[in-house]
Structures are given as C-alpha cells and as structure tokens.
C-alpha cells in the first residue's frame, strides 16, 4: 500500500507544499516542532534512509539544503536543523526544523499553527527557493 507521503506527492491527500522537482517533494510538517518545520521526501518510496541508493540519497541532501536555505531566509532562528527519524512514517523524509533551543529538536514541544499561517509559511518559503 502506498505510504501517506506517496499519497501526498500524488495529490490524493492535501498538504502545504513548499517545493517539488522531478525526484523530490517538500511540504510543511502538520504537527511541527516549530513554525516552518518542513519535510523533504524522495518520490521513490523507500522506508529507511540508509537503504536509498547513493544517487537518491545525495540528491535528497542537495534538495534539503536548498529548502533549508529558503527556511532560513524566512524564519528568524538560530539555525535550521536536519533530522531523520522515520519511526512514524515508513517513507524516507528529512525533517528541516528552525531551531532556537534543544527543545525545538526534541519532538516533544510542538508549535500551534493555524491553517492560515501554514498557507502563508508554505508560500513564503516556496518564494525563497533558488
């Protein structure tokens, strides 16, 4: 069965899209650690990041860097952290999280974001993608 992220990529489930190219897709995390928390996903559905072929892995990192730079341009923060976990959704994804403290990286503290803010954040980050 297709993963929830494949369904998002295929437009079967809505998301706040930030970026897309031929092989990768980025959208806002629906339960963000901080405003601007974004997921970068390879369109190829693979469970664990270390099982990606090297080309897809390197491409995912390059795509995540591009999206992360755009987040840094939009969200005032100390830095954007990258995290890979995958215990909830078995489809490789890189978390890009605006960080001001370790709590933002903990996945315990969550930000409240309205639908309007999600829409505005996605548009603002998308506009800064180079």
Cα–Cα distance for residue pair 91/6, rounded to 1 Å: 8
Q: Where does residue 34 fall: left (phi above 0), alpha (psi -120 to 50 degrees), or beta otherwise?
A: beta
Tokens in use for 6? 């494949």
111 is a site residue for ligand AMP (CB under 6 A)? no
Output 81 or 130, the one with its CB closest to ligand AMP. Answer: 81
Cα–Cα distance for residue pair 77/11, rounded to 1 Å: 31
User: For residues 34-73, which are near ligand AMP according to CB under 6 A?
Assistant: 39
| Contact pick of 89, 105, 111, 124 for ligand AMP (by CB under 6 A) | 89
Helix/strand/coil for 1: coil
| Contact pick of 10, 12, 21, 31 for ligand AMP (by CB under 6 A) | 31
Concerning whether 37 is annotated as a catalytic residue, the answer is no
Stretch that binds ligand AMP, among 47-55, 65-73, 84-92, 118-126 (CB under 6 A): 84-92
Torsion of CA 37, 67, 92, 59, to 10 degrees: -170
Element spanning 70, H or E: helix 54-74
| Contact pick of 11, 54, 55, 88 for ligand AMP (by CB under 6 A) | 88
Residue 81 CB, nearest approach to ligand AMP (Å): 13
Q: Where on the chain is the footprint of ligand AMP (CB under 6 A)?
A: 4, 13, 15, 29-31, 39, 85-89
């Amino acid at each position: 069965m297709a993963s929830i992220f494949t369904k998002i990529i295929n437009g079967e489930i809505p998301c706040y899209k930030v970026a897309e190219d031929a092989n990768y897709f980025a959208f806002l995390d629906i339960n963000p650690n901080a405003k601007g928390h974004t997921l970068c996903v390879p369109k190829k559905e693979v469970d664990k990041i270390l099982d990606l072929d090297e080309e897809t892995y390197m491409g995912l990192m390059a795509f995540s860097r591009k999206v992360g730079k755009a987040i840094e341009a939009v969200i005032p923060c100390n830095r954007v952290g990258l995290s890979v976990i995958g215990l909830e959704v078995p489809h490789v994804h890189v978390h890009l999280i605006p960080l001001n403290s370790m709590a933002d990286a903990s996945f315990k503290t969550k930000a409240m974001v309205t639908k309007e803010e999600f829409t505005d954040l996605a548009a603002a980050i998308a506009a800064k993608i180079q």
